[in-house]
Amino acid sequence: MNARAGGKADAYGRMFVEELKPFIDSQYRTLTDAANTGLGGSSLGGLVTLYLGLNHPTVFGKLATISPSAWWDNKWIIRQVSKLEARPDARIWLDIGTREGGQPLRDVRELRDVSRSAALQRP
Left (φ > 0), alpha (ψ -120 to 50) or beta: where does 88 sit?
beta
Distance in angstroms (rounded) separating the CA atoms of residues 9 and 12:
5
- Helices (H) and strands (E) counted in the chain, each on its own, are 5, 3
Provide the residue range defining the domain that includes 22.
Answer: 3-120
1-59 pLDDT tens trace: 444 556 789 999 999 999 999 999 999 999 999 999 999 999 999 999 999 999 999 99
Helix or strand run (H / E) with residue 39 = strand 38-43
| Prediction pTM value | 0.85
Q: What is the CATH number of the domain that holds 18?
A: 3.40.50.1820
Number of domains in the chain: 1
Phi and psi dihedrals of 31, rounded to 5?
Answer: -90, 115
Higher pLDDT, 119 or 43: 43
User: Please, what is the average pLDDT of the chain?
Assistant: 88
